[in-house]
Chains A and B, each alone.
Chain A
């Protein structure tokens, strides 16, 4: 007679000792843990190799017939092309310094999310074909062969890495695990495997400029709608220059901030700041996406989308580019742009602030300045009239976005600005900020809703630190300098630290900015009442 399982049997999620070795234990594609596959038509339109219909949860992924040859050749080609990859494959001594630094490992406790083991998935394949010992001794020295399950495993873990590079910070050799993930994703694309959430924006950025594929005239209308909102709040309608030639500056920021809440308020912050400075600038509809979705797929796609920035700077004849609050955009700009599409066009010069005269020598090569460098310099020179008491209802902390923090060392500028526009600022614990910052858990194209459960566990280390300062210091706000953060941190905060609001830095700047000729501010950019405004005063203002 059949027996009911005992409670212990129901609760034990694994046998006492796993039967297989770790390399033979395969991932389960459970809903909530994998991204949806891209559409075949999208891949065809983008001329990606081997486009086909497939489903990550299906047994058969419909790989092309000669998939193994394709992958072996593609891997070899990349080992020759990128000296760094070969080095990363060879020099790891498996010391384990990176093992417990990954937010995916901390949140999932899946050993293959230790960066060393995630890289080992590829390194084991490398050993078989590219090392003498591996060729001779095979499995004994950790070498293994390709099979379809290995492909699935590589795909699964390449999309459980946000390329945040926290692990690299702790690696004594400086192995950049993000680049290993990038190569694995690139290999997957060789056999037609990609995710919808990344490829759809890649297609849209390729054909229309922004990640949602909104046509230029409509994009402009949406920005004008935001300028109208600025007028409602401040009484001043900022200008919205688009595709105009002959300006000094081209401003490029992630298009997410034009479409998504709460990013739009950061965008409104830019509009108001530039208007107040009477900045000589223009937007572009062609280069209207600062974020580079291509960098989540392949080297060539990243290069193609990145090319728009300099191409537009040249066409419009600007002297330099000012870039908005974005994460991976800045890694691409600082670490890859020169190789992809450099040097910058002849009409561009080393950026110089037209307001303060500061020359941004750090941007001499790229000709691109991060908006927080620009604004911090304005504040340093006393060029902005700020009233931080307007943000007095906020006790804020600051989330260092992975790429600006670790790929460009942008640590002080955002804090400098924040301290000038808010009176109450609290840091999260030391081992969760600055270079050691924890990722939002959904960067590098993982901020799609179908993996919300995965995001809540991978973002847990960040959520946990936020919750700590919320409970200890009453923090009710988290500022950040990345559009993906503005999309991913609100859900994360909602789950781990409900009651904490998330915003970009320039939303707070514009709230504190006292503009020339502005109406008395009674509400913030979100059109929520400012708490410190005298009710009679506000009514009198309305009746005027």
Chain B
């Protein structure tokens, strides 16, 4: 209970610092834009990061968070990181950037309740694992989309070829390859 109270006091500072840490994984020249433009459609990446930050914090605080709800809120964030030019560790590992922040701000307050503090850190691990599963699903979807697209591009040609095959008299092909 006390953990939740302590975390509640840190909410604004922790979410903001984590958001800034994720922003910092983008090129420096893009930072002023990411930081300032607030419209969710004019600056979608920042909007996705902020949405993720809010839900990560709530889950971290150990409030009764439904896994599906967490996944929905992380969905856009993980999706964009999965198709941007990051290594897998860079893409979803940014969730671990919460740990140094927690150690700096929360740990000193919880020296006498290390078990409770470790629980908070373990929740960071769970969230990162959850995000990793989502990341893999997204990557697999991209691969599947590539295959589907190739198939769709030539869909009618294939149908037409099958159509021709069905129409051709058997004898026409029966002699092929025979001496």
Please determine whether B26 and A109 come into contact, CB atoms closer than 8 angstroms.
Answer: yes
B96 within 8 A of A: yes
Beta-carbon contacts under 8 Å, A17-44 to B: 17-18, 22, 28, 30, 33
- Chain A nearest Cβ from B145, distance in angstroms: 4
Chain B residues within an 8 Å CB radius of A12: 24-25, 90
| B 79-98 to A, binary, CB cutoff 8 A, 1 in contact else 0 | 11001111101100110110
Report whether over half of chain A's contact residues are helix, strand or loop; otherwise say mixed: helix
Report if B155 contacts A (CB, 8 A): yes
Residue contact A111 to B30, C-beta cutoff 8 Å: yes
- Whether B93 contacts A214 by the Cβ 8 Å rule is no
Given A11-B94, A111-B27, A431-B42: A260 and B79 interface contact (C-beta under 8 Å): no
Whether B141 is near chain A, meaning CB under 8 Å from some CB there, is yes
Residue A341 CB within 8 A of the other chain: no
Are B83 and A457 within 8 A (Cβ)? yes
**Is A11 a contact of B93 with CB atoms below 8 Å?**
yes
Most buried by A among B34, B142, B163: B142
Residues of B within 8 A of A7 (CB): 93, 96-97, 99
Complex: A221 Cα to B163 Cα, angstroms: 10
Contact B39 A431 (CB under 8 A): yes
A262 to B148, CA, bound (A): 12
Q: Complex: how many Å from CA A18 to CA B26? A: 12
Considering the chains assembled together, what is the distance between the CA atoms of A18 and B43 in angstroms?
Answer: 24
Q: Once the chains bind, are A109 and B83 in contact (CB under 8 Å)?
A: no
Q: How far is the CA of A110 from the CA of B86 in the complex (A)?
A: 12
Q: Which residue of the partner chain B has the closest CB to A28?
A: B85
Q: Which residue of A lies closest to B138 (CB)?
A: A495
- Find chain A residues with CB under 8 A from B29 CB: 22, 111
**Docked pose: A13 CA to B152 CA in angstroms:** 36
Kindly identify which residue among A22, A225, A449, A491 contacts B156, using a CB–CB cutoff of 8 Å.
A225
Chain B min CB distance to A340 (Å): 28
Chain B residues bordering chain A, tally (CB within 8 A): 50
Cα distance, A259 to B161, chains bound together (Å): 12
Shortest C-beta distance, A433 to chain B (Å), equals 10
Expressed in whole angstroms, the Cα–Cα distance for A22 and B27 within the complex equals 10
Q: Collect the chain B residues with CB atoms within 8 Å of residue A222's CB.
A: 156-157, 160
User: Known: A449-B149, A495-B145. Contact between A13 and B155, CB under 8 A?
Assistant: no
Does A495 lie within 8 Å of B97, measured CB to CB? no
Chain B CB within 8 A of A159 CB: no
Q: Give the distance in Å from the alpha carbon of A260 to the alpha carbon of B145 in the complex.
A: 15
CA distance A464 to B49 in the complex (A): 13
CB distance from B30 to the nearest CB of A (A): 4
Which of A22, A100, A259 sits near B43, CB closer than 8 Å? A100
Q: Please, which residues of chain B bring their CB within 8 A of the CB of A491?
A: 145, 148-149
| Nearest A residue to B23, CB-CB | A109
Binary contact readout A442-474 vs B (1 if CB under 8 angstroms, 0 otherwise): 000000011011101100110011011000000
**Which B63-117 residues sit within 8 Å CB-CB of chain A?**
76, 79-80, 83-87, 89-90, 93-94, 96-97, 99-100
Asked if B173 CB lies within 8 Å of chain A CBs, one says: no
Q: Which residues of B contact A106 (CB under 8 A)?
A: 42-45
Q: Is the pair A258, B156 in contact by a Cβ cutoff of 8 Å? A: yes
Which single member of A109, A225, A259, A495 contacts B154 (CB below 8 Å)?
A: A259
In angstroms, Cα B24 to Cα A8, docked, is 12
A452 to B39, Cβ gap below 8 A? no
Query: Which residue of A has the minimal Cβ distance to B22?
Result: A11
If the complex has contacts A431-B39, A460-B44, are A14 and B156 also in contact, measured as CB distance less than 8 A? no
Q: What per-residue 1/0 map shows which CB atoms of B25-48 lie under 8 Å from chain A?
A: 111111001100101111111000
Instruction: Tell me if A8 and B85 are in contact (CB < 8 A).
Output: no
Residue among A99, A107, A453 making CB contact with B142, cutoff 8 Å? A453
A429 at the B interface (CB under 8 A) = yes
Name the A residues within 8 Å of B142 (CB-CB). Answer: 452-453, 456, 495
Q: Are B146 and A449 in contact (CB under 8 A)?
A: yes
Bound CA–CA A454/B142 (angstroms): 11
B170–chain A nearest beta-carbon distance, Å? 21
User: What residues of A have a CB within 8 angstroms of the CB of B154 in the complex?
Assistant: 212, 259-260
Q: A residues 248-265 with Cβ under 8 Å of B?
A: 258-262, 264
Residue in B42, B79, B93, B156 whose CB lies within 8 Å of A100: B42
A binding-site residues for B, Cβ under 8 Å? 7-8, 10-14, 17-18, 22, 28, 30, 33, 99-100, 105-111, 212, 214, 218, 221-222, 225-226, 258-262, 264, 429, 431-432, 449-450, 452-454, 456-457, 460-461, 464-465, 467-468, 487, 490-491, 494-496
Listed from nearest, the 9 A-B pairs whose CB atoms lie closest are A111-B29, A456-B83, A109-B26, A491-B145, A261-B152, A449-B146, A109-B30, A11-B93, A261-B155
